Amino acid sequence: PALPPAVVTVAAVEERAVTGDVRLVGTAAPWRRAVVASEVAGIVEALAVDEGDVVEHGQVLARLRRDILQRVLQRMEATLQADEAAYRLTVSRGRRNEALRDDRVISLQEFDDSRLTEEEAQHGVASDEAEVMRVRELVEKTTSRAPFGGTVVRKRTEVGEWVGEGGGIVEMVDPS
């Protein structure tokens, strides 16, 4: 037997947004997370970011006071210049003493002493140069920069606070 024809209801097409909630359980984690720490101890002079700020790789986050280190650097540079002048003088004396030794005007002991003085002066200059480089690096390390581009999620210090070596400045994430 054949079925009777189906009853069909027709309605006009209407355009509207369909919304619905979808609840999912899960964990979201950033690609990278870091606590940016100070490489040197000091008082925070400037904090250039706030929570929620988006920063680029290498952007300045904070700066510690550097006036004392600047003065130490000036003193070390002056010491280096003085020791370089003293070294030049010992080299000059060494040349004269070499001529005097060849003419047998001074003893071998006096000549050896002048050579030792020249070597000591040379080592003093090398030591001063290394110390100047070390203090310059310390001055540079008073500025904390973003290790990667991301978002600052937490400040761990404020302007005027003391931050120890390795102390946290900000916490940041890379949510990309």
Q: What is the mean pLDDT of residues 27-37?
A: 90
Render pLDDT for 125-160 as a digit per residue (tens, 0 to 9). 999 999 999 999 999 999 999 999 999 999 999 999
Give pLDDT, residue 21. Answer: 86
Q: Which pLDDT band, with edges at 50, 70 and 90, does 102 fall under? A: confident
Q: Which pLDDT band, with edges at 50, 70 and 90, does 30 fall under? A: confident
How would you class 49 by CB atoms within 10 Å of its CB: exposed for 0-12, middle for 13-18, buried for 19 or more?
buried
In whole angstroms, what is the distance from residue 118 CA to residue 115 CA? 5
Q: What is the mean pLDDT of residues 154-172?
A: 95
Q: Which helix (H) or strand (E) holds 32?
A: strand 32-37
Give pLDDT, residue 18. Answer: 83
Q: Which pLDDT band, with edges at 50, 70 and 90, does 28 fall under? A: confident
Would you say residue 76 has pLDDT above 90?
yes
